[in-house]
Structure 1
Amino acid sequence: MAGFAAAIVALLAAAGLLAALYLAHKRNCSLPQAIALLKLRSLFRLQLPDRSAPAERPVIHVYARQSGLDVAVLWSFLDRRCLHLLHEKDQRSLFLFGLRLIGETAYAGDIAAIEAALAAGQSVSVPCPPEIEPQPQTLRGYGTLAALARKHGAGLRALHVRGSRFSQWSVHPRSKAPRHLLPRMRLGQSDLLGFDDTSPADNGATDPRDEDRVHDLMALARFRSNNLERGLFLAFRDACDIYGKAGPVLEDALGGKLTYKRTLIGARALGAKLEAMSQPGEALGILLPNANAVIVTFLALQSAGRVAAMLNYTAGPAALVSALSTARIRTVLSSRAFVDKAGLEAPVAAIENAGVKIVWLEELRESISVLEKANAFVNWRRPLRPVRASDPAVILFTSGSEGTPKGVVLSHTNIHANAAQAEARIDISVADRLFNVLPVFHCFGLTGGAILPLFYGVRLFLYPSPLHYRNLPAVAREVRPSIMFGTDTFLAGYARTAKDTDFESLRLIVAGAEAVRAETRRIYRERFNATVIEGFGMTETAPVAAVNSSSHNKDGTVGRLLPAMSLRLEPVEGINDAGRLYVSGPNIMLGYMLASEPGKLQPLSSGWHDSGDIVAVDEDGYIAIRGRAKRFAKIAGEMVSLGAIELMVQQLWPEDFHAAVAVKDRRKGERIVLVTTRMPALRDELREFSRRFGATELMVPGEIINVSEIPLLGSGKTDYVTAQKIADEWISSHRTDNSKA
């Protein structure tokens, strides 16, 4: 018997050796590297990117050291002659004894060893601190490595080992990275950065932009370490595998708490019902508030291979019916309790009168049998229907702030990619709790406020309405979030009613959808010790396109472009210091659905999306929004930004709210009308301030209209359609005076 066992062991060893020899030949690596790679694949299910063609010059490989496993992965993947600089702990690790014995290693920080290797034509791997948002000294280290690459004619590439942070050798505290015995790992790598076209004239000289270039490579490698070839249901299940033991991850104002597993069981059970009443790929409407039920319903549709059409219940009956027609929606999922509490009887009647069926979730839940529940419990890890990551997953409708809303069709990859792009730039962990008040029918509320936190282990609290200015701060005091998303309008409203202790748990607020006023930043910094960072996006980019961060933040801008995205600026007549922004990347929508051709996807023809925004980009890559192309007025032949006028007025009257619109003028073509809550708002005071502000006379509004509130959309954006109607009606009623102007 012992002889038989020995024979089996010898046979397995021989098979392993043959596999290693084949792998060594296939990957052109050494036998020890191949053996290490086989072990890593077997134990940690390691996935590697395609190996790049051998570089004609040495390469400095930089990576954020998440654990002691990282260098083992890189040693098995990189060129056999690569010199690996080892962190102090890796120099002493028994686990890495074989690497130190066989491979070429040196101490981290040994610049002389790096220079000697590069001079000899060897590549080098260099560990860096693990933070997503690097400290200044880390950024300076990036610049040093770039200068060494330039001096020796080397390239520079970033790598990232996703999953190693959850291993027993993790450098992160357990409070931020739950431990697993054998976590799944995946290696991501950036493009190769050369310095031929970006270098200063002197060989080896530093370039102040090098720090940002290397930082961007690190973010790109981190982004690429995600597996985006998964449907959203499976991506949520992957998050469950990593973070599922941490307890409830989803909570709402009704007191409900759900773990990852309970959420998936509920989605699987509900999905079976939805599958029976619809066709594969069909869009079903979701008319629900921010509550646990909307997440379960969303995932149920993803499990069933259906498309979730997120309906804006604040838009009014006509807009809802238009959205249903545009996306050819035959069924809407809603809740009787929600409709009764929110007073949505009129929109519901309009939906039913349009011939669309409303399915009440309370009744559907009651119809799920014990056998169906048991089936969901057993098969909770598997979606009901396989999907491709490129398939449509969501239809969202543009806010209609400047015209008729359109249906924006986003794929599984679009949404997953945008969450991954944000995670590569913003430091979040299981130690965080996100307080989401933004409605999930808005893309910022869906991707940023729901999918992003759940995919990366951040506990999520859903609040049903951002308009509860008095109640919401008190809820935040009980929930104690560390992160919140919002718009400037909402944040200013909360600050007016909040006590100083209500938001004391916050460390970070990400604001978007409209420009953030300096006054809002100041209030949250001084009263609550929270940092407000501004981002920029649109529904068509799922939605985030650029964002500031703690390490890269410039007031007056919306930050730098997210990893894996590209931009170009097209010239605009009459504007010299900015251009019309076009963007491309994995988060760009599949296309539009238009009311003129219901149900038909209008795909992007070139992969580039015209944002309709006029922006300026500085030498460091920070994007400053000049305004919407449609929100420029042409006065006496000169283009004037309505957004810039609003910023000017906000500096003069920071505690009030303002909207600038343009009306026709017989002499100058157009003129500016300011709709404002300021009372009184004196034009002479504004004209005097404009001179100190450095504005031209054309930027001073010709008329000022006082209102009690600036009209808002459900997303928190200014409703410029309504603001324009207010201005037009006011001008019409004062036509006699206007004709004399």
Structure 2
Amino acid sequence: MENAIFAVVGAAILVWLITAFREKGAGGITYVQALKFTLLKFVFGIRHSGFDPKAEWKGPVVFIVLAQSSLDRAILKPFLPAQTFHVETEGEDATAQAMTLFKSVMAGHGITCVYLPPQVEASPETMGLLAEIGAVAREASARIVPIFIRGTRFSLFSHWKQAQAPRSLLPQVVMAAAPEFQLSGTSGQHLADQLLDGAANAKFRSVNLRQSLFEALVAAAKLYGPSREILEDALGARLSYRKLLIGVRVLAKRIEAMSKRGEAIGILLPNSTGVVVGMFAVASAGRVAAMLNYTAGPAAIVSALGTGNISTVLTSKGFIEKADLGGLIEKMKESGAKIVHVEELRESIGFMEKFRAFLLWRRAVAKSKPDDPAIVLFTSGSEGTPKGVVLSANSLVANAAQVDCRIDFSSEDTLFNVLPLFHSFGLLGGAFLPIYYGVRLFLYPSPLHYKLIPSLARKVAPTFMFGTDTFLNGYARAAKDGDFDSLRMIVAGAEAVKPETRKMYRDRFDALVVEGYGMTEASPVVAVNSATFSKDGSVGRLLTGMEMRIEPVEGIAEGGRLFIAGPNLMLGYLLGDKPGVVQPLASKWHDTGDIVSIDERGFISIKGRAKRFAKIAGEMISLGAVEMMVKQLWPEANHAAISLPDKRRGERIVLVTTQLPARKDELIAYSKRFGATEMMIPDDIVNVPEIPVLGSGKVDYTATTALVAGTVVV
């Protein structure tokens, strides 16, 4: 027996020695490094991408690492050149010593690896250190190579608190390097931006984007623990990862039996554990989840069913009764849709089905590819007919990872989501992102319950919320002191955030309100501010992994029309002329239709929709800016600025408002204090009892224009 053990151990050592010799090759790696390298690959299953451990490196070179654990240095040593100086920066004394060593190595055109604190939301102190490192590296004309080691955050040697990252004895480790670059510019702030952007890029490249929605859910369950409670709703239902996946497996088998592979299944459910189970069950069955906006009205929903070629809709009897949607259901049935109630499915599930699901919760019912259609969302149609936007698992997983590369989330966080999952902001930010990154998720069915949400937030104690400026103002007015004290960040989108909103949450609740920007076609986040990168009045900087270009627009001196590209873009549109057929983008670029300006640090400011500009006497006037001005003058009323043809000046601006009285002389006087040009003053003012809105709460400009077109003489 002992001889057999010695023989096995000896054989393993021999294989290790031979493998290390082969790894050594002819590059810059030594045999000792190769021995460590092969051992680490065996122990942690290390995968690496973006660089060759055997490559020759000539200085000056700076490797930048957001160190996730004390293992990072031990793991990197076998991969980097033997002559690399490894520089730690934790602690004041260490920082001073690190800079002395770093300057010396750069002066000698050597190679360094600098280990920074683990967060992508770097502190002011870290940004100052990066500025100093950047100045020295730029002076030496050094090549910068960012590296990120994924997985060691969850090791026994993690730099994160255990509440922020559950521990694993042998976590899966992935090393990724972003493309090397050299620093440009002289501003310390700009140099720090470039270094942190590079580090975030390396982090993004370490993510496995080639996963289906179901596979990404299983991976999260393994990483954060199957028994971790991840999901709760306002009815008191609570699900751990395991319970969620068991429910998904049971429902997926039923969906498989009632539909064809690749078929779109409509989901008409409120924010609850049920909608999450249903969405992942559709994915597990190899079908496409079409999220239906139950506030859009029968005509819009029946139109969506036709555009998406949707013949089966998953809904709830209880929800239909409470929301008084009986008429909608009848219209859907008349269109030929089959209505499936989750209550009836639940009652018909037998013991053996549940038992099989308990055994097979990690397995999808049907395989799907990461770039297959996974989710269909329907645009609001605020400026035209709604379209179906087809998103793949790849685009959604990528967008969640991109946000995680800008804002630090952890399993210590709780997200309170009031935004509906039929809206792209609510779907990604309020479902996929928290579930994939171990953030406890609380779902609430309506953002309009201004009085109930603050008191419930006190009980849930969230650290994150999403919302719009309108909703946030409503919650703050209804809230008592202390209701939102647990919040550390609120991400707002869909409309501009007013300075008063930021100040209100900062002063009353010590919560940071940051603004973001996105669209359904981008899954949806394109840019977002953070604790590190924040500029009031902007929507933040472009997310990691994305590209943008600006095309000039006649009549606009500053900025232009924004085009974007990236892994988070949609597969294409579903249009009424070809139901169920994905019509892809003509190129990698998507025309956002937005007019933007970008400052020297990359902060994006939205000037308005291209369709929401009026061309008056050759000058482009933002209708959104007109609305903002009027809103500040008459804050209690609702307003919409539209443009109509004008024989003399091309177009004229019409203000549609609920303000009574709405005096033009008062508006003219205020416009001078506001700093508006004369052309921004509306030519006409039309009073209406109510501004038409869509189910999402946005102004319905098509209906508004039709409402007043006959009342204005041009």
Instruction: Return closer, same or farther for 1:458/1:354 CA change in 2, 3 Å cut-off.
Output: same
Measure, in 2, the Cα distance between the counterparts of 1:496 and 1:727: 33
Matches within 5 A, 1:147-296: 147-195=135-183, 198-200=184-186, 207-244=188-225, 247-296=228-277
Q: Report the counterpart of residue 550 of structure 1 in structure 2.
A: 531
Deviates more, 1:417-426 or 1:466-475: 466-475
Deviation at 1:433, TM superposition (A): 1.0
Kept after mapping to 1: 8 A contact 2:390/2:574: yes
Distance 2:591 2:627 in 1: 24
Preserved CA contact (<8 Å) 1:487 1:716: no
Q: Is the 8 A contact 1:660 1:675 kept in 2?
A: yes
1:257 alignment partner AA = R
User: SS of the counterpart of 1:414?
Assistant: helix
Pairs within 5 Å for 1:61-210: 61-86=63-88, 109-195=97-183, 198-200=184-186, 207-210=188-191
Q: CA deviation at 1:551?
A: 1.3
Measure how far apart 1:252 and its partner are.
Answer: 0.4
Moved more, 470-479 or 589-598: 470-479
Calculate the TM-score normalised by the size of structure 2: 0.95
Within-5 A mapping of 1:326-725: 326-707=307-688, 710-725=691-706
Could you tell me how far 1:383 is from its partner in structure 2?
1.1
Counterpart residue type for residue 131 of structure 2: G
CA contact (8 A) 1:517 1:654 kept: no
The residue identity in structure 2 corresponding to 1:460 is L
How far did 1:708 drift? 5.4
Report deviation, 1:301: 1.2
Query: What displacement does 1:308 show?
Result: 0.7
Structure 1 residue 151: deviation in Å? Answer: 1.9
Kindly state the Cα deviation for residue 706 of structure 1 after the two structures are TM-superposed: 4.1
What do residues 355-391 of structure 1 show as CA deviations (whole Å, max 9, x unaligned)? 1111111112222222221111111111122222111
Asked if the contact 2:27/2:56 (under 8 Å) is kept, the reply is no
- Measured after TM superposition, the shift of residue 108 of structure 1 is 8.0
**Structure 1 residues 61, 438: CA separation in 2 closer, same or farther (over 3 Å shift)?**
same
Bigger Cα displacement from structure 2, 118-127 vs 394-403: 118-127
Partner of 1:101: none
CA spacing shift, 1:654–1:37, aligned 2, 3 Å: farther
Query: In the alignment, which residue of structure 2 is the partner of 1:102?
Result: none
- Cα distance between partner residues in 2 of 1:162 and 1:548: 24
State how far apart, in whole Å, the 1-side matches of 2:124 and 2:201 are. Answer: 20
How many Å apart are 1:120 and its aligned residue?
A: 4.4
Cα pair 2:516 2:528 within 8 Å, conserved: yes
SS of the counterpart of 1:597? Answer: coil
State the distance in 1 between where 2:636 and 2:489 align. Answer: 22
Following superposition, the deviation at residue 461 of structure 1 comes to 0.5
Of residues 45-54 and 278-287 in structure 1, the stretch that sits farther from structure 2 once superposed is 45-54
Tell me whether 370-379 or 666-675 shows the greater mean CA deviation.
Answer: 666-675
The residue that corresponds to 2:20 in the other structure is 20
Q: Deviations over 1:244-265 (max 9, x none)?
A: 2663210001110000110011
| Change in 2 beyond 3 A, CA 1:133/1:716 | farther
- Deviation (angstroms), 1:88: 6.5
The answer to whether the 8 Å contact 2:227/2:241 transfers is no
1:294-333 alignment runs, 5 A limit:
294-333=275-314
Give how far 1:653 is off. 3.5
Distance 1:491 1:40 in 2: 49
If the length of structure 1 is used for normalisation, what is the TM-score? 0.92
Residue 36 of structure 1 is matched in structure 2 by 36
CA distance in 2 between partners of 1:367 and 1:438 (Å): 31
- The residue identity in structure 2 corresponding to 1:312 is N
1-structure distance, mates of 2:19, 2:25: 10
1:29 and 1:335 map into 2 onto residues whose CA distance is 62
**Is 331-340 or 675-684 further displaced after alignment?**
675-684
d(CA) in 2 for partners of 1:708, 1:251: 40
The answer to which of 60-69 and 108-117 deviates more is 108-117
Whether contact under 8 Å (1:675, 1:705) holds in the other structure is yes
Q: Which moved more, 1:106-115 or 1:681-690?
A: 106-115
> Which runs of no fewer than 5 residues in structure 1 stay unpaired?
92-105, 201-205
For residues 20 and 445 of structure 1, what CA distance do their matches in structure 2 show?
A: 49
CA separation of 1:531/1:655 partners in 2, compared to 1, >3 Å: closer, same or farther? Answer: farther
Distance in 2 (CA, whole Å) between partners of 1:358 and 1:710 is 33
Compared CA separation, residues 286 and 108, structure 1 to 2 (3 A): farther
Alignment deviations for residues 125-166 of structure 1 (CA, whole Å, 9 cap, x no partner): 101112221111211211222222222221112111112111
Kept after mapping to 2: 8 A contact 1:108/1:127? no
Query: 1:680–1:564: structure 2 CA closer, same or farther, 3 Å change rule?
Result: same
Instruction: Report the CA distance between 1:645 and its aligned residue.
Output: 1.0
The answer to whether the Cα contact below 8 Å between 1:438 and 1:715 also exists between their aligned partners in 2 is no
Match in the other structure for 1:5: 5
- Relative distance call for 1:346 and 1:54 in structure 2 (3 A) is farther
Q: Which residue identity is paired with 2:306?
A: S
Provide closer, same or farther for how the CA distance between residues 321 and 167 of structure 1 changes in structure 2, counting only shifts above 3 A.
same
Query: Partners of 1:603 and 1:27 in 2: how far apart?
Result: 44
The number of aligned residues is 711
Q: Distance in 2 between matches of 1:711 and 1:429?
A: 40
Deviation per residue, 1:482-538 (Å, 9 max, x gap) = 111011122222223222332222221100011112222222222322221100000
Q: Report the alpha carbon displacement of residue 393 of structure 1 after superposing the two structures with TM.
A: 0.9
**Shift of residue 684, structure 1, vs aligned partner:** 1.7
1:513–1:716 Cα contact (<8 Å) kept: no
- What is the Cα deviation at residue 430 of structure 1? 1.4
Q: Which moved more, 1:287-296 or 1:689-698?
A: 689-698
| In 2: Cα distance, 1:357 partner to 1:685 partner | 56
Q: Give per-residue Cα distances to partners, 1:8-43, cap 9 Å, x unaligned.
A: 221121112112222222875222222222332233
Encode CA deviations 1:576-633: one digit per residue, 9 max, x unaligned. Answer: 1120000001101111111111111111121110000000011110101000000011
Once residues 388 and 78 of structure 2 are traced to their aligned partners in structure 1, the CA distance between those partners, rounded to angstroms, is 47
Which residues of structure 2 form unaligned runs of 5+? none
CA distance in 2, matches of 1:639, 1:474: 45
Deviation at 1:115, TM superposition (A): 3.6
Letter in 2 for 1:160: F
* Partner of residue 60 from structure 2, selected from 47, 58, 61: 58
Contact 1:517/1:650, CA 8 A, preserved across alignment: no
User: Structure 1's 317 and 674: CA in aligned 2 closer, same or farther, altered over 3 A?
Assistant: same
For residue 556 of structure 1, report the CA deviation from its aligned partner.
0.9
Cα distance change, pair 126–108 in 1 and its aligned pair in 2 (3 A):
farther
Q: Tell me the distance in 2 between the aligned counterparts of 1:135 and 1:4.
A: 56
**Is this contact kept in 1: 2:561–2:596, CA < 8 A?**
yes
Segment drifting more, 261-270 vs 220-229: 220-229
In structure 2, the residue corresponding to 1:209 is in which secondary structure? helix
**Residue deviations 1:529-583 (CA, integer Å, cap 9, x gap):** 2221100000000000000111111111101000011110001111111200000
Find the aligned partners of 1:297 and 1:465 in 2 and give their Cα distance. 19
Q: Secondary structure at the match of 1:611?
A: strand
